[in-house]
Amino acid sequence: MDAMAAIKQTFFQECEEQLAELESGLLAIEGGQSDLETINAVFRAVHSVKGGAGAFHLDDLVGFAHIFETTLDHVRGGKLAPTPELLKTMLRSADVLADLVRAARDGGTVEEGRKKALADELARWSGGSGGAPAAEEAAAEEEDSLAGLNFVPIQITEDDVDFSGAAPDAGNTFKVSFKPHRALYAKANDATLILRELSSLGTAEIVCDESQLPKLGELDPEEAYLIWNITLNTEKDEQAVREVFEFVDTDCDLTVEKADPPGAADVDIAALIRQATEAAAPAEAEPAAAAPAPTPAAASAPANAAASGDHPAAGGKGDAGIAVTAQTTIRVDLDRVDRLADLVGELVINQAMLAQRITEGNHGKASSASVALDELEQLTREIQESVMAIRAQPVKSVFQRMPRLAREVATLTGKSVRLIMDGEGTEVDKTVIERLADPLTHMIRNAIDHGLESPEKRRAAGKSEEGTVRLSAMHRSGRIVIEVADDGAGINRARVKQIAIDKGLIPADAQLTDDEVDNLIFLPGFSTASTVSNISGRGVGMDVVKRSVQALGGRISITSVPGKGSTFAMSLPLTLAVLDGMVVTVADQTLVVPLTAIVETLQPKQADVHGMGGDSRVIAIRDRFVPLVDVGQVLSYRYEAADPMTRVALLVETEGGARNALLVDAIQGQRQVVIKSLEANYGRVPGIAGATILGDGRVALIVDVDAVVADARGDVYRDPGLAMAS
């Protein structure tokens, strides 16, 4: 039972891969890349899902996949052209297929009407073309082959004979005799696949020798009775032919003999003889002999490719890539990698301490100890980078969910959208990837729903009806930058400003730059859509996106050109384990303030600081008064309010967008720190987000800016962790 569950889980994992393959294949075809390789990849993906689902009796899934497969088979066979309309149907079918897989995995059902509608649509496509019955039959046969393995060899033999009747091309001819033993089948090998692979080398004439087949009553279902004699005409050498049998050669009787090419040579000789005997028409005989060759060759080419496409091992680049990855990756518990990362962090600290000792010991720069230390430093840095690389993953896993989202939103809004994705291979820490999906989903929705205009408006503006949304990822100065750009109307600044004024977010007479107006959309409680649509208007706005990006230690910005579109760019750290921080001193303690929260630093002047009420103070920064918060007091390092004149203020912005000035004693510098959990061995500390270890080996605490500000305001900071503990 457990084993079965495990196999099923593997099947669903593979399904996810196949579905991703299916979707990216369909998108590639839509993008004009309709070569046979891609079509085959798509077909293969659906076929694999169907095959696996059949084994688990997931009838719904099998039924739909089968219809889908039939239509794809028509495309593959060239009977159906991959028109944009057909591709739209197929993409939606891919979505339904994905839903069916998920329903099978997690329980639940897929809306019958939606499934039925698409199934009918698919059937119409395949029914509308010429050779439908034959193809249907072939597909049905293939279906049977899944149920009764014993019949597979015979059925495919006939299939293969179809296209092997062709006159062979010039090249080597081999006579191959292939007699599988029962062990071959017992090891889950399939003669069909081998024969297909073989025929992909050239043109093959496959004859099945059934002479050893006993009467049905005496037949041992597990015994192997069939022998195939193949006449293969190929440009490959004997080695290549034998390679086809590489994995089964101990489980079969195999002979490969080089023979005189019966095809081409025979034809030529026949032609010569005819030429000699019927001297009357010498000029006609030669073209007649040559003529049959090109046609079958052309016909066999797609068939061969199709055959090779069906064979997992003989597949194209995609398959080869997967196979290589499978061989070279291992699954490792994330905890172990984290432990490794911790140890490397410790190594870095130890090395820094060692360096300090050596400097103190007054060894010269050129001393052997210093040289060795330099080497150690280099090594440590490489180890650190390697460890980080282990945790890194391409953003593809998140990006690949977006095309479907774009399609759904486009359908709901009646807009036509093309989603272009760039830099899917850009790598970022696993923890960042996991938390990227939500903001990204929202940004894509927003770009389509609010960014792009309706097709009519686009036409009126002289743009193509189809809007473009470009999603791209790239590395930039130690961070990952993800951009969502649309070619819509851009931000309507007058309207944005009016809404902000109406909602009381800004004073009516506020003078704002274009940039400031654009950034108003990130304010909490702001929503531009005048009618609440069920796509973007789910009670959350861009402020939620901003907050989740900030929670990841990232920043989000917007640039907009009226009439040309808007671009949202989020810049995120490559890992959540590392934070850019400002190292400060407060009451002899070293603290780290996350750099993402800091807007600017300033030296308070006597004239700018004003008392307010009992012991609250505010500071004037460019004619705006912001609360002055003494970090030392909030964290109970000191009880007396500190004198701001001898200290430094950090202007910070909380997640809610409020600005405060944090008073610290001195700034030590700016650096990347490795974040350590306090909660693992201790618990949450109010006002503290975590800890880190500095170069001197001591622990420094990381300030939780929001909590400190809330504390200073006298609010009870609603800390979810603490709420749960009490």
- For another protein, the binding residues (CB under 8 A) are 342-343, 345-346, 349, 589-590, 635-637, 676-678, 680-688, 691, 693, 697-701, 722, 725-726
Task: Output the DSSP codes for 316-369.
Answer: -HHHHHHHHHHHH-----HHHHHHHHHHHHHHHHHHHHHHHHHHHTT--TTSHH
* Tokens (6 digits) for 96: 């339904």
Name the residue among 442, 443, 399 with its Cα closest to residue 424: 399
Task: Give 180 or 687: the residue with its C-beta nearer to another protein.
Answer: 687
Report how far Cα 537 is from the mean position of its chain's Cα atoms: 27
> Beta strand pairing status for 202-209 and 252-259?
unpaired
Q: 698 vs 345, 438, 439, 682, CA distance in Å?
A: 13, 36, 36, 17
Task: Give 275 or 590: the residue with its C-beta nearer to another protein.
Answer: 590
Work out how close the CB of 415 gets to another protein at its nearest, in angstroms, rounded to a whole number: 51
Task: Give 610 or 698: the residue with its C-beta nearer to another protein.
Answer: 698
What is residue 533's DSSP assignment?
Answer: -
Work out how close the CB of 344 gets to another protein at its nearest, in angstroms, rounded to a whole number: 8
Task: Give 297 or 722: the residue with its C-beta nearer to another protein.
Answer: 722
Task: Give 345 or 644: the residue with its C-beta nearer to another protein.
Answer: 345
The 3-state DSSP class for residue 422 equals strand
> Beta strand pairing status for 616-621 and 609-612?
antiparallel
Work out how close the CB of 339 gets to another protein at its nearest, in angstroms, rounded to a whole number: 9
Work out how close the CB of 682 gets to another protein at its nearest, in angstroms, rounded to a whole number: 4
Three state DSSP letters for 222-279: CCCCCEEEEEEEECCCHHHHHHHCCCCHHHEEEEEEEECCCHHHHHHHHHHHHHHHCC
Question: Do 468 and 486 touch, CB atoms closer than 8 A?
Answer: yes
Task: Give 457 or 713: the residue with its C-beta nearer to another protein.
Answer: 713
Task: Give 224 or 349: the residue with its C-beta nearer to another protein.
Answer: 349
How far apart CA 227 and CA 194 sit, in angstroms, is 13
Work out how close the CB of 720 gets to another protein at its nearest, in angstroms, rounded to a whole number: 13
Work out how close the CB of 393 gets to another protein at its nearest, in angstroms, rounded to a whole number: 23
Place of tokens 């609603």: 718
Work out how close the CB of 590 gets to another protein at its nearest, in angstroms, rounded to a whole number: 8
Task: Give 198 or 701: the residue with its C-beta nearer to another protein.
Answer: 701
Task: Give 562 or 697: the residue with its C-beta nearer to another protein.
Answer: 697
Task: Give 455 or 686: the residue with its C-beta nearer to another protein.
Answer: 686
Question: Do 657 and 690 touch, CB atoms closer than 8 A?
Answer: no
> Beta strand pairing status for 578-586 and 252-259?
unpaired
Place of tokens 């305001």: 713
Task: Give 619 or 700: the residue with its C-beta nearer to another protein.
Answer: 700
The phi, psi pair for 692, rounded to 5°, reads: -150, 170
How far apart CA 242 and CA 231 sit, in angstroms, is 14
Task: Give 60 or 719: the residue with its C-beta nearer to another protein.
Answer: 719
How far apart CA 449 and CA 443 sit, in angstroms, is 10
The 3-state DSSP class for residue 611 equals strand
Q: 711 vs 619, 704, 708, CA distance in Å?
A: 18, 11, 5
Work out how close the CB of 578 gets to another protein at its nearest, in angstroms, rounded to a whole number: 14
How far apart CA 265 and CA 280 sit, in angstroms, is 23
Work out how close the CB of 629 gets to another protein at its nearest, in angstroms, rounded to a whole number: 14
* Tokens (6 digits) for 268: 């030529």
Work out how close the CB of 594 gets to another protein at its nearest, in angstroms, rounded to a whole number: 17
Name the residue among 138, 150, 157 with its Cα closest to residue 209: 157
Work out how close the CB of 683 gets to another protein at its nearest, in angstroms, rounded to a whole number: 5
Work out how close the CB of 254 gets to another protein at its nearest, in angstroms, rounded to a whole number: 59
DSSP run (H or E) holding 42: helix 36-55
* Tokens (6 digits) for 224: 């192997």
Work out how close the CB of 724 gets to another protein at its nearest, in angstroms, rounded to a whole number: 10
Task: Give 9 or 636: the residue with its C-beta nearer to another protein.
Answer: 636
